[in-house]
Amino acid sequence: MTQHSSHSANIDTSSTTTVVVPGEHVMTALVGPRDQFLRRVEQQFPAVHIRVRGNEVRVAGDDTAQVTSVARLFEELVTLIQNGQQLDDNTLDRVFTMIEANERPSEVLTHQVLRGAKGRQVKPKTAGQKRYVDAISNNVITFGIGPAGTGKSWLAVAMAVRALQAKQVERIILTRPAVEAGERLGFLPGDLMAKIDPYLRPLYDALYDMIDVEGVQRLLEKQVVEVAPLAFMRGRTLNNSFIILDEAQNTSPEQMKMFLTRIGFGSRVVVTGDTTQVDVPNGKSGLASLEHTLTGIDSLAFVKLGGADVVRHKIVADIVAAYERRDVEREQQRSDASDA
């Protein structure tokens, strides 16, 4: 391995840490093609001096905390590479975010939820997503609340398929409210199921990511997997099932109570929603303020996901962050007005 020195030669190197990299193949993956990953680290942490020689990465600088963080970053990246993780710019961005939040990327990104269709591995991609799947594993009811692109529904379906394959449940029930968002159901062609199918399509899409097409069709035919609008849940008791209520911000308070009281023995429930995207006609969402109502109940958890958990195109994360800043500003303005 040729020597690589960082771009800055003027940094005080009073604090120094050395990371030993086990094997040239790991070092090659660590620094990246033409040292591009190493340069990304240098750009992210300009106050440190990084030098690679042989199988060692030497991190130096006058800020001991930052030197320690960068050394831990390299240790985490080495662990990821040894566990088969392919490094790319998106992965590096997520690792940077987790390191700065004092989290463990190697624990998050190597946690396999499921091996899906065509061998695709389903894993959390952020610390928030890891907390979400852990909450689903450890609770009877989990509420996943956050903006679009945070993997709420997708990971919930993956956990449902895993539970079914492990015979922890006998069936999966996927449901969501058929709320009219600009179009009326009556104007859509076909019978009732054809009319509500567009509302349930995102759940089908997630399911096809986890199981091959033929497998999904067999499960649907045997009613091992049921996809239905929320209205069809009334009057039922759902035992030994993994139940996902998607787009829960569009339930009314009465619908939410109805749904939560359907839960029977041996069942697990995930409720997902985005409280900033409420389409119910009167604006009264069954998901809003629910955490306050249900606080203190055992085996029930709320997981909040945010802009840092968006795993779609970077522009989606930027848009979510902009809206989050706007909401904070509005809340501050309301607080200032009430104090005046």
Task: Say yes or no to pLDDT of 5 above 60.
Answer: no
Query: What's the burial of 93, exposed, middle or buried (CB within 10 Å: 0-12/13-18/19+)?
Result: middle
Lowest mean pLDDT across 105-109, 115-119, 131-135? 115-119
Lowest mean pLDDT across 100-114, 273-287, 315-329? 315-329
Cβ neighbours for 1, distance < 8 A, ≥ 6 positions apart: 24, 27, 28, 52, 53, 54, 55
pTM: 0.79
Superfamily in which the 115-309 domain is placed by CATH: P-loop containing nucleotide triphosphate hydrolases (3.40.50.300)
Which segments of the chain belong to CATH 3.30.1370.10? 4-109
Count CB atoms within 10 A of the CB of residue 90.
Answer: 12
Task: Say yes or no to pLDDT of 138 above 80.
Answer: yes
Q: Output 189 or 128, whichever has higher pLDDT.
A: 128
pLDDT of 314: 64
CATH, domain range 4-109: 3.30.1370.10
pLDDT band at residue 290 under the 50/70/90 scheme: very high
Query: Using one digit for the tens of pLDDT, what is the confidence trace for 47-82?
Result: 899 999 999 999 999 989 999 999 999 999 999 999
Query: Using one digit for the tens of pLDDT, what is the confidence trace for 195-222?
Result: 566 777 888 888 988 999 899 999 999 9
Which segments of the chain belong to CATH 3.40.50.300? 115-309
Cα separation, 179 vs 337, in Å, equals 35
Query: Using one digit for the tens of pLDDT, what is the confidence trace for 241-263?
Result: 999 999 999 999 999 999 999 99
